[in-house]
């Protein structure tokens, strides 16, 4: 599949007024070669794996943003719902050519 987009991922993202999460990039996350991303609530940090496709990077970033929102608004979201939301949001962004 040809990837003709490049999602601009900032070094920090505002989740709500006065609350920012920094975005870091690592080759290996939490000593797990298969981990694509993680959100650390205590540090307000999102870590994304380096070297993924544009699609995987965008979906992972969206997925981790959902977790950041979950943490900051104190609304637990089951992981299966997070996966459904990240896929749905990604498709909306692509269909509307925002990605």
- Residue 47: strand pairing partners: 24, 38
Evaluate if residue 83 carries a pLDDT over 80: yes
Q: What is the mean pLDDT of residues 72-99?
A: 95
CB 12 within 8 A of CB 37: no
Predicted local distance difference test score (pLDDT) of residue 84: 97
pLDDT per residue as tens digits for the range 1-25: 456 677 889 999 999 999 999 999 9
Predicted local distance difference test score (pLDDT) of residue 77: 97
In what helix (H) or strand (E) does residue 54 lie, and over which residues does it extend? helix 54-72
């Amino acid at each position: 599949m040809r990837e003709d987009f490049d999602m601009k991922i900032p070094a920090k993202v505002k989740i709500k007024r006065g609350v920012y999460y920094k975005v870091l990039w690592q080759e290996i996350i939490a000593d797990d070669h298969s981990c694509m991303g993680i959100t650390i609530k205590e540090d307000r940090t999102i870590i994304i794996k380096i070297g993924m496709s544009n699609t995987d990077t965008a979906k992972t970033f969206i997925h981790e943003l959902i977790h950041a929102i979950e943490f900051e608004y104190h609304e637990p979201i089951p992981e299966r719902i997070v996966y459904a939301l990240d896929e749905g949001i990604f498709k909306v962004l692509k269909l509307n050519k925002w990605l």
